[in-house]
Amino acid sequence: MGENIQGGTRRVVVLGTGGTIAGRAGRAGDNIGYTAGEVGVSELLGGIDAPEGIALLAEQVAQVDSKDMSFAIWQTLAQRCAHWLAKADVAGVVITHGTDTLEETAFFLQSVLAPSKPVVLTCAMRPATALAPDGPQNVRDAIVVAATAGVRGVVAVCAGTVHSAFDVQKVHTYRVDAFDSGDGGPLAYVEEGALRVLRNWPAPHAATQVFDRVAGAVSLPRVEIVVSHAEARGAIVDALIAERKRGSADAVQGLVLAATGNGTLHHALEAAALRAQAEGIAVVRATRCMQGRILAKPDESLRDAGALTPVKARIALALELLAASASGRIEGG
């Protein structure tokens, strides 16, 4: 399955999933008119020197534009990470990934694996065929992080910056330095093959113990995201309730409300959300602000996702519903 690239004593395994980092354009000057997920992961490692004493092993897990990321790929990734991390000589895993949903995959893997070794997602904003591609340096930096003793958990590396899976967000459509950690700040920088740590590494939070459930599931419980905004209505939520009442097999089980500011909702959407909760749909509010967290107030009728962004809150709620279905307990909020 894997392919040995270079010799060494400890291994870093590089799993390829596609993305712009593996993208190919018709001409070298084109940074946007390319097809993502075309170049194989072994090819991406060409010309990259591993740190001393490290052997690289490449494995192609998927080859997609990450806008189309799926639960099936997440399942395979979680299984391949668990497989490799269990080996004593594997220092860590690097995952090459598209930038669009990188933060979702990072958060999913952190929630499911809570690994005690590093799992490092990396990416590129320019295709592999660009005049000055950013992918090779990002891969090199990611390998350094994966090989560094003492590093643990799922992180993202882009433009020389290390972000935690909890904080990382894509914040720019075009710039090479496209990710940010909000007010938490980055964990570290990678400078000429060395890590400069900036703040305490996040404590390994208790894994949700859903690895086996994820491995055995056909799909994640359906959780939809609905945005609150000026003139918002409850129509989308009511349609989801109606679908559930009709007994649709794939009916919504959870709802994340991308709320304004400190978790506030348009009154029409809030009323619909309360109807959904009364129907047994799990409802969570997550702020649509780029920074900060929801500071809970007493007597809120709809619970909040704290500092999680709506897309990460969706994953957290889906995993919670998956775990609850194992114990026969699905809560309506």
- Please report, as ranges, the residues that interact with ligand ASP according to CB under 6 A: 19-20, 36, 65-67, 98-100, 123, 125
Match 């590089």 to its residue by tokens: 14
How far from chain centre, in Å, is Cα 36?
Answer: 18
Which pair of structure tokens corresponds to residue 160?
Answer: 């020389």
Minimum CB–partner distance for residue 160 and ligand ASP (Å): 17
Minimum CB–partner distance for residue 176 and ligand ASP (Å): 10
**Alpha helices in 86-209, H assignment, sequence order:** 102-113, 135-147
Closest CB to ligand ASP among 168 and 240? 168
Tell me the DSSP string of 5-51.
-S--SEEEEEEEEESGGG-EESSTT-SSSEESS-S-HHHHTTTPPPP
Q: How far apart are the first and last CA of the chain?
A: 43
Burial class (CB in 10 A: 0-12, 13-18, 19+), 99: buried
Contact 283, 303 (CB under 8 A): yes
Closest CB to ligand ASP among 61 and 284? 61
Minimum CB–partner distance for residue 65 and ligand ASP (Å): 4
Which of 17, 20, 96, 122 is catalytic? The answer is: 20
Contact 124, 21 (CB under 8 A): yes
Closest CB to ligand ASP among 66 and 75? 66
Count of residues in the chain: 333
Minimum CB–partner distance for residue 3 and ligand ASP (Å): 23
Closest CB to ligand ASP among 77 and 305? 77
20 is catalytic: yes
Widest CA span in the chain: 62
Closest CB to ligand ASP among 37 and 254? 37
How many whole angstroms separate alpha carbon 246 and alpha carbon 237? 14
Contact 266, 284 (CB under 8 A): no
Helix (H) or strand (E) holding 72: helix 71-85
Residue sitting closest to ligand ASP (CB): 98
Which pair of structure tokens corresponds to residue 137?
Answer: 């340096």
CA R_g for the chain: 21
Minimum CB–partner distance for residue 97 and ligand ASP (Å): 7
Closest CB to ligand ASP among 100 and 180? 100
How many whole angstroms separate alpha carbon 306 and alpha carbon 293? 5
Question: Which are the catalytic amino acids?
Answer: 20
